[in-house]
Amino acid sequence: MEQIIANGLYLGAQYALIALGLTLIFSLMNVLNFAHGQMYVFGGFITYSVVSQLGMPFIVGLIASAVTLAAMGALIERFLFRTVIRRSAREESTMLLAAGIAFFLDAVILLLFGEKQRGVPKIVNGVFNWDFRLIMPYDRILIGVLAVAMIVCFILFMQYSKAGRAMRALAQDRTAAQLMGVDVDRYSMIGFALGAMLAGLVGALLVTITGINLGMGGPTSVKAFMMIMIGGAGVISGAIAGGFILGMMESVGLSVLSSFGDITYLVIFASLMVFLAIRPQGLMGKPWG
Amino acid sequence: MLRRTFLRTTTLAAFATLALSAAHAENPTLKIGFVGVTSGPAAAWGISNQRSMETRAAWLNELGGVKIGDTTYDIEIVPFDDQKDPKRAIAGMEKMAQEGIHYVVGPNVDDGAAAVRPVAEQNGIIYFPYAFPKSLYTPPASNAILGMVANYQSGPAIYKYLMDDKGVKTVAFVAANESDPLSQRDSGVEAAKALGLDVVSDTVTYQVDTTDFTPVLLPVIQKQPDLLVLSGVSPANAPQLIRSARELGFQGLISTETAQDATVLQEGAGDLANGFISVGGASTPELASDEMKEFVDRYTKMFGEYNDESNTKVYALEYILETLKADPAAIDDVEEFKKTVDTFSAPNPFMKGDAKLSYVGTTSFGQKRQVAVPLVVNEYKDGKFETLFVAEVD
Amino acid sequence: MPSTNQTPLVEAGAASAPIRESAVSPRRLLGVLAFLIVVFVVVPVFIAATGRWDFYYTLTSVALLSIGAAGVWLTFYIGRINIGQGAYALIGGYVSAILITKAGLSFWLTLPLAGVFCAFVAVVIGLPILRLRGVYFAMVTLVLTEVARLTALALPVTNGAKGITSIPMPGAVSIFGIPLIPDFSTLANSKLAFYLLAATLMVLTYLVLWRIVHSRLGHLCRSLQQNEELAASIGVNIAWLRVLTYAISSFFGGIAGAMFVAIAQSIYPSSFVVQDSVNFMLYCFLGGLGYVFGPLLGTFLLYFGWDLLSAAREFQLLIYSGSMIALMLVLPNGVLSLFDRKGGSR
**A108 belongs to a structural domain:** yes
- Per the structure, the count of domains in chain C is 1
Across residues A187-208, what is the average pLDDT?
A: 93
Give the pLDDT band (50/70/90) at residue C2: very low
Contact indicator for A106, A213 with CB cutoff of 8 Å = no
User: pLDDT (tens digit, 9 = 90+) per residue, A72-84?
Assistant: 999 999 999 998 8
Helix (H, G, I), strand (E, B) or coil at C114: helix
* DSSP-derived pairing of the beta strands B370-371 and B356-360: antiparallel
Considering the domain boundaries, does residue A17 fall inside one? Answer: yes
What is the CB neighbour count within 10 angstroms for residue C27? 7
- Asked whether residue A36 carries a pLDDT value surpassing 90, the answer given is yes
| Separation between Cα atoms, residue B16 and residue B18, nearest integer Å | 5
Three-class SS state of A55: coil
Phi, psi at A233, each rounded to 5°: -65, 135
Contact in structure between B195 and B169 (CB atoms under 8 Å): no
C314: closest chain B residue by CA: B38
Residue C46 in any domain: the answer is no
Instruction: Give A107's contacts in chain C (Cβ within 8 Å).
Output: 315, 317-318, 320-321
Q: What is the per-residue pLDDT for A252?
A: 87
Minimum-distance CB partner of B268 among A117, A261, A265: A117
φ and ψ at residue B69, rounded to 5 degrees:
65, -125
Mark yes or no for CB contact C268/B111 under 8 Å: yes
pLDDT at A100: 92
Task: Please indicate whether, in this complex, the C-beta atoms of A100 and C13 are within 8 angstroms of each other.
Answer: no
Which candidate in A53, A254, A269 is best for mutational testing of the B interface (most B CBs within 10 A)?
A: A254
Touching B (3+ Cβ pairs <8 A), the chains are A, C
Stretch (H or E) spanning B1: none
Residue C329 touches chain B, beta carbons under 8 Å = no
Collect all residues with Cβ–Cβ distance below 8 Å to A162 and sequence separation of at least 6.
none
Would strands B170-176 and B198-206 be described as parallel, antiparallel, or unpaired? parallel
> In whole angstroms, what is the distance from residue C236 CA to residue B327 CA?
74
Residue C12 has its nearest CB partner, among A91, A269, A282, at A91
B305 near B271, Cβ under 8 Å? no
What is the reported pLDDT for B11? 52
* pLDDT of the residue at A276: 83
Query: Is A113 inside a domain boundary?
Result: yes
Domain ranges, residue A52: 2-215
- Name the pLDDT band for C17 (thresholds 50, 70, 90): very low
Look at residue C12 and tell me whether its pLDDT is greater than 60: no
Q: How far is CA A51 from the centre of its chain?
A: 22
User: Helix axis angle, A162-172 relative to A138-160, nearest 10°?
Assistant: 80
Neighbours of chain A (3+ CB pairs under 8 A): B, C
Per the DSSP assignment, residues forming a β-bridge with A205 are none
Taking only the tens place, the pLDDT of each residue in C19-74 is 444 456 788 888 889 999 999 999 999 998 988 888 999 999 999 999 999 999 99
How far is the C-alpha of A52 from the C-alpha of A97, rounded, in Å? 33
Residue C120 — very low, low, confident or very high, per pLDDT cuts 50/70/90?
Answer: very high
Asked if residue A235 is part of any domain, the answer here is no
Q: Across the interface, do C317 and A110 touch by the CB < 8 Å criterion? A: yes
Say what the pLDDT of residue C345 is. Answer: 38
Q: Are A19 and A247 in contact (CB under 8 A)?
A: no
Quick check: is C164 in a domain? yes
Tell me if A157 sits within 8 A of A164, measured CB to CB: yes
Q: For residue B313, give every residue at least 6 positions away whose Cβ sits within 8 Å of its Cβ, in sequence order, or none.
A: B48, B49, B52, B53, B130, B147, B148, B281
Please determine, for residue C9, whether its predicted confidence score (pLDDT) is greater than 50. Answer: no
User: Is residue C34 situated within a structural domain?
Assistant: no
The helix (H) or strand (E) run that includes residue B360 is strand B356-360
CATH superfamily of B24-148+284-373: Response regulator (3.40.50.2300)
More confident call, B261 vs B228: B228
Cα gap A274→A259, rounded to integer Å: 23
Beta-carbon contacts below 8 Å between B and C = 130
Q: State how beta strands B277-280 and B375-381 pair.
A: antiparallel
Position with higher pLDDT, B89 vs C179: B89
Contact criterion met (CB < 8 Å) for A7 and B236:
no
**A residues 82..141 contacting C (CB < 8 A):** 83-84, 87-93, 95-97, 99-104, 106-108, 110-111
Q: Where are the alpha helices (DSSP H) in B23-150?
A: 43-62, 86-98, 110-115, 117-123
Element housing B227 (H / E): strand B227-231
pLDDT category at B144 given cuts 50, 70, 90 is very high
Pairing of strands B29-36, B71-81: parallel
Phi-psi region of B254 (alpha: psi -120 to 50; beta: other; left: phi over 0): beta
The mean pLDDT value for B14-29 works out to 59
- Please, which residues have CB within 8 angstroms of residue B70's CB and are 6 or more apart in sequence? B328
Cβ–Cβ below 8 Å for B90 and C263: yes
Residue B1: pLDDT above 60?
A: no
Q: What is the pLDDT of residues B149-179, one digit of tens each?
A: 888 888 888 999 999 999 999 999 999 988 8
Residue C235, classified by CB atoms within 10 Å of its CB into exposed (0-12), middle (13-18) or buried (19+), is exposed
CATH for C263:
1.10.3470
pLDDT the model gives residue C341: 53
Instruction: Note whether B267 contacts A220, CB cutoff 8 Å.
Output: no
**Average pLDDT of the segment spanning A200-227:** 89
Report yes or no: A2 and A133 within 8 Å, Cβ to Cβ. yes
pLDDT at residue number C94: 96
**What's the pLDDT score for residue C144?**
92
DSSP, res A77: I
Q: Is the pLDDT of residue A131 over 80?
A: no
Please write the tens of the pLDDT for every residue from C263-284.
999 999 999 999 999 999 999 9
pLDDT tens column, A1-32 = 788 899 899 999 999 999 999 999 998 888 88
Task: Tell me: pLDDT of A264 over 90.
Answer: no
Please judge whether C314 and B177 are an interchain contact, meaning their C-beta atoms are less than 8 angstroms apart: no
Total domain count for chain A?
Answer: 1
CA distance B78 to chain C (A): 9
B120: confidence class by pLDDT, cuts 50, 70, 90 = very high
In A, which residues are within 8 Å of C150 by CB distance? 262-263, 265-266, 269
For residue A142, name the pLDDT band (cuts at 50, 70, 90): very high
Domain boundaries defined on chain B: 24-148+284-373, 151-281
C333 found inside a domain = yes
The percent of residues above 70 in pLDDT, for chain B, comes to 93
Return the half-sphere exposure (C-beta side, CA atoms, 13 A cut-off) of residue B376: 27
C-alpha distance from residue B74 to each of B53, B61, B103, C154, C188 (Å): 13, 5, 15, 48, 33
DSSP one-letter code for A88: -
Residue length of chain C? 346
Cα radius of gyration (chain A): 19
Nearest residue of chain B to residue C158 (CA atoms) = B179
Burial of C217 per CB tally in 10 Å (0-12, 13-18, 19+):
middle
Phi, then psi, of B289 in degrees rounded to 5: -80, 170
pLDDT of C4 strictly over 80:
no
- The string of DSSP letters for C128-176 reads HHTT--HHHHHHHHHHHHHHHHHHHHH-TTTTGGG-B--PPPP--EEET
- For chain A, counts of helices (H) and of strands (E): 12, 2
Residue B6 has pLDDT above 70, yes or no: no
Cβ contact, residue pair C332, A84, below 8 Å: yes
Query: Chain B 7-36, CB below 8 Å of chain C: which residues?
Result: 9-10, 13-14, 17
d(CA B143, CA B141): 6
Of A236, A241, A246, nearest in space to A271 by CA: A246
Tell me whether domains B24-148+284-373 and B151-281 share a fold.
yes
Q: Measured in whole angstroms, how far is the alpha carbon of residue A3 from the centre of its chain?
A: 24
Q: C20 lies in a domain? A: no
Decide if pLDDT at C131 tops 90: no
Query: Mean of the per-residue pLDDT values for chain C?
Result: 86
Pick the CATH number of B151-281 from 3.40.50.2300, 1.10.760.10, 3.40.50.2020, 3.10.129.10: 3.40.50.2300
Q: How many other C-beta atoms lie within 10 A of the C-beta of residue C3?
A: 13
Task: Label residue A71 by pLDDT band (50, 70, 90).
Answer: very high
Q: Could you write out the DSSP letters of every residue in B108-130? A: -SHHHHHHTHHHHHHHT-EEE-S
Distances (CA, A) of A208 to A51, A202, C22: 10, 10, 62
Using a CB-CB cut-off of 8 Å, the residues of chain B touching C313 are 13, 79
Q: Which of A116, A117, A216 sits opposite B209 (nearest CB)?
A: A216
Residue numbers of the domain that contains C322: 53-171+185-339
Quick check: is A227 in a domain?
Answer: no
A172 touches chain C (CB under 8 A): no
Residues B86-107, mean pLDDT to the nearest whole number: 92
CA geometry: angle B8, B13, B18, nearest 5 deg: 125
Q: Residues near A26 by Cβ (< 8 Å), separated by ≥ 6?
A: A32, A33, A228, A233, A234, C135
Asked if the Cβ–Cβ distance from C154 to A276 is below 8 Å, we say no
Q: How far is the alpha carbon of B256 from chain A, nearest alpha carbon, in Å?
A: 17
Asked whether B361 and B355 are in contact (CB, 8 A), the reply is no
Q: Does B45 touch chain C (CB under 8 A)?
A: no
- Does the residue A285 lie in any domain? no
Tally the residues of chain A. Answer: 289
Please report the pLDDT score of residue A182 as a whole number: 86
- Set of chain A residues whose Cβ sits within 8 Å of the Cβ of B264: 116-119
Q: What is the DSSP string of B248-275?
A: TT--SEEE-SS---HHHHHHHHGGGGTT
- Distance separating alpha carbons of residues B377 and B162, to the nearest angstrom: 11
Q: What is the pLDDT of residue B43?
A: 83
User: C187-222, pLDDT tens digit by residue?
Assistant: 878 889 999 999 999 999 999 999 999 998 888 888
Question: Nearest CA to A231 among A283, A287, A171?
Answer: A283
Average pLDDT, chain A: 88
Task: Give the tens place of pLDDT for each residue, B282-338.
Answer: 667 778 888 899 999 999 999 988 888 888 888 899 999 999 999 999 988 899 999
